[in-house]
Amino acid sequence: MVYKGLFLTDQPCEWLITESDCVPYTVLLYAGISGMFYSQTGVLIERGIATFASNYTTTLSRRIGVTISTVVVLLSFLTYRTIMWDDPLDGYVLTCFVPSAHSAHRANWFLFICVCLTFFNLIASMAVMYYNKVLEYRIRYKLRERFKKREAIDSTHTICIVSMSQFILTLSYSLGLLLLRCNINQMLISTFLALVVWIYVSF
């Protein structure tokens, strides 16, 4: 919309946008959404390795961090291709954040998987934090080991708080969009789009 307002003011107004024209925007949209969940899972995996690895050195931490970061970036940009892998993208949409008709069901599944992944991260971070808390009392007089466990406890506690907040917001976001899509025939298209925008802005 900003691009149209700046550079296409002398062109006729087009209400509909081709699905193929929306590809660059939706790639970034899905990469951003999925990257948020994947990066949270990646941090939790790194904390799990730090908790259970017997010799977790700085070099090993750096290698694991680079590996996880690379995997997260690749998966983030492959998510859109997975959702749209057989979509001809030959239709029209009102805005680019609305999934194409051929891939709407997979977009719903993507939102559902995001909720499940956030819930898994929440449970796993609580388990790792509890394990480190129990182990901290067993190694009370081993200062180096206790420092490592305290570091793991603090980091997993942060992940747990983020997971809880993200779970609530993602659940509201995905359920809201799912309910709107299931009841789109019961409301005006203007009302539907206004509610979709409100959900995006709110959550």
Partners of 93 in the β-ladder: 17
CA distance 65 to 56: 12
CB of 46 within 8 A of CB of 69? no
- Taking 3-state DSSP, the helix, strand and coil percentages for the chain, each rounded to the nearest 5, stand at 75, 0, 20
pLDDT tens, position by position, 9-27: 676 666 678 888 888 888 8
pLDDT on residue 17: 83
pLDDT on residue 143: 55
pLDDT tens, position by position, 187-197: 887 787 778 77
What are the residue boundaries of the structural domains of the chain, listed by start? 17-202
Q: For the chain, 203 residues long, give each residue's pLDDT as a single digit of tens.
A: 555 556 666 766 666 788 888 888 888 988 988 988 898 888 888 888 887 887 878 888 899 999 999 999 999 999 988 988 888 888 888 777 777 878 888 887 887 888 788 788 888 878 877 877 776 666 555 556 666 666 766 777 777 677 677 777 777 777 787 788 778 778 887 787 778 777 777 76
